[in-house]
Amino acid sequence: MTVKTPTASRSNLLLTLTRYREFGIILIIIILAVIVTLRAPVFLTLGNFRDILLDISILVIVALAQTMVILTHGIDLSVGSVIGLVAMMVAFTIKANPTIPLVVVVLLGMALGAILGSFNGLIIAIGKVPPIIATLGTLSIYRGMIFLYSKGYWIPPFQLPDTFKLLSKGTFLGIPHIIIFAIVVAILVYYFLNYTRTGRDIYAVGSNPDAAQYVGIRKQRIIFLVYVLTGIAAGLAGVLWASRFESSQTNTALGFELQTVAASIVGGVSISGGVGTVPGVLLGALLLGMINNSVTLVRISPFWEQAAQGLLILIAVVSDILIMRRVQRNKSK
């Protein structure tokens, strides 16, 4: 049976676009960089770039995990609360035992995150509750637990040992630890999504759950897994957050979940599942970080920052829909 592929150059261009969504984001990043540099030359300095990376490191870690959830056509709205709860529990633990080794602290945070994430996973994979509802519930539950656990107190910087603060602030070969954490997570997620069967199964489940099941992929297991992984990432982020901001408060990472979703979607992850890459999300997070940074540099009202982020999300989603529609139309011809 001989079947020809569409050869029209126009449709090939569109297909290339769908394959390499990253180009569009790079283009926006370059344009933004040029404009901001013209107004504030300090933007294009190594020091400023380092500031941006410091600012987005935690976002990158959680956004990459959020991406895995969105790839399965889910969403995890509880990550901000998980970060806050883990940060609080870890901070209290360190305050009580200042000599506890940092490795144990990090592992403890990730373990706590895994427990909170697996609760999400259970409700969604076994209980079949829609992810947006389930995690909206745990968003409130976990946030409420922060208050219950801390009884409304917060951990100020002087109650945390310097070694813990160095966890994020220390440098290795001149690179701050927190950036190294983000790079390692990015490499791990990239390898996991592209070079393991489980990683590919995540794409398959999000793209066509029935098809995935027909070829023997255990759908519920994959869905459970992505929420656990997101919990672990948020747990790690909670430890880093407490270290970087040298404190833990009841409103730590409040609303952060929307940042992670924004980074994913601006980075080309499709909200309907199955589409998205690690480089794309990194660029998405970078773009958000740049906007944040340049708003301060150019001295625009911070209100514009939110509006700019919102606009980017809309552009990302609408261009996705338009490209999909064109691909479908070319096909039906």
Partner 1 sequence: MSEYVLELKNIAKRFGGVEVLHGVSFGLRPGEVHALLGENGAGKSTLIKVITGIHQPDGGEIFLNDKQVHFDDPLQARLAGIAAIYQELSLCPDLNVAENIFLGRQPTTVGGSINWRKLYSEADRLLTSLGVHLDLKAKARSLSIAQMQSVEIARAFSLNARILIMDEPTSSLTLKEVAELFGLVRRLRDEGTAIIFISHRLEELFEVADRVTVLRDGSYVDTRLVKDVTRDDLVRLMVGRTISNLFPKQDVKPGEIALKVEHLSLAGIFEDINFELHKGEILGMAGLVGAGRTDVARAIFGVVPPTSGTIQIEGRQVEIKSPQQAISLGLAYVPEDRQLHGLIPAMNITSNISLPILKEYARRGWLQDKAERSAAFSAARQMEVRANSIWQLARTLSGGNQQKVVLAKWLSTKPRILILDEPTRGIDVGTKAAVHALMSNLAAEGIAILMISSELPEVLGMSDRILVMHEGQMTALFSRAEATQEKIISAATQTIKTVRAL
Interface with partner 1 by CB under 8 A: which residues?
1-6, 11, 15, 18-19, 191, 194-197, 200-201, 203-204, 206-208, 210-218, 270, 273-275, 324, 327-328, 330-331
Closest approach of partner 1 to the CB of residue 192, in Å: 10
State how far the Cα of 195 lies from the Cα of 205, in Å rounded to an integer. 16
Residue number, 203 or 227, with CB nearest to partner 1: 203
Closest approach of partner 1 to the CB of residue 218, in Å: 8
State how far the Cα of 181 lies from the Cα of 177, in Å rounded to an integer. 6
Residue number, 33 or 323, with CB nearest to partner 1: 323
Residue number, 6 or 137, with CB nearest to partner 1: 6
Closest approach of partner 1 to the CB of residue 160, in Å: 40
Tally of CB atoms within 10 A around 267: 27
Closest approach of partner 1 to the CB of residue 254, in Å: 33
State how far the Cα of 244 lies from the Cα of 177, in Å rounded to an integer. 10
CA atoms lying within 13 Å on the CB side of residue 241: 34
Residue 247 in contact with residue 90, Cβ under 8 Å? no
Residue number, 165 or 218, with CB nearest to partner 1: 218
State how far the Cα of 202 lies from the Cα of 71, in Å rounded to an integer. 7
Tally of CB atoms within 10 A around 263: 30
97: left (phi over 0), alpha (psi -120 to 50) or beta: beta
Looking up tokens 């001989």 gives 2
> Angle at CA 211, nearest 5°, toward 18 and 75?
65
Closest approach of partner 1 to the CB of residue 131, in Å: 19
Closest approach of partner 1 to the CB of residue 197, in Å: 6
Residue number, 99 or 328, with CB nearest to partner 1: 328
Residue 62 in contact with residue 256, Cβ under 8 Å? yes
Residue number, 167 or 217, with CB nearest to partner 1: 217
